[in-house]
Amino acid sequence: MSPSEIPRNVLVVEDEWLIALDITMLIEDEGHVVIGPAKSVARAVDLIEDNAIDIAFLDITLGEEKSYPIAEKLAALGVPLTFVSAYNKSDIPSEFQDFDCLSKPVPSDLFRDQLLKLIDQTRT
């Protein structure tokens, strides 16, 4: 079994239900397990504490919140992540510039490529 074929737990943090549904379907179609989607920082933190998270996709803006505290928590745990946002990479604070950022709307093939890239970064 190649690393991309091993089912991974993928945290999805997205407050727009239609986008969350699209992302969830793409991840599940690739044989992975979606944790969430979480619509808030508090819910995402709860999911992180209650589940083994292998990789994550985070929307930056969650209502009036930003997902940066989630990114900090995941980074401290060594979890690879990608922001999925309408923000330009240059709009992201400097401490989060090392994370990839996909611009919404994300084409399916680009999302799948990023999913595989994150899987390659996970610990086996």
Sorted by where each begins, the domain ranges of the chain are 3-121
Q: What is the pLDDT of residues 68-77, one digit of tens each?
A: 999 999 999 9
Write the CB contacts of 77 (distance below 8 Å, at least 6 apart in sequence). 48, 53
The answer, yes or no, to whether residue 124 has pLDDT greater than 60, is no
Q: What is the pLDDT of residues 29-74, one digit of tens each?
A: 999 999 999 999 999 999 999 999 999 999 999 999 999 999 999 9
* Cα 59 to Cα 27: distance, rounded to the nearest angstrom: 15
* Cα 124 to Cα 107: distance, rounded to the nearest angstrom: 28
pTM of the model: 0.94
Cα-Cα-Cα-Cα dihedral sign, residues 104, 107, 112, 114: negative
Q: What is the pLDDT of residues 76-119, one digit of tens each?
A: 999 999 999 988 888 899 999 999 999 998 999 999 999 999 99
Domain 3-121 architecture: 3-Layer(aba) Sandwich (3.40)
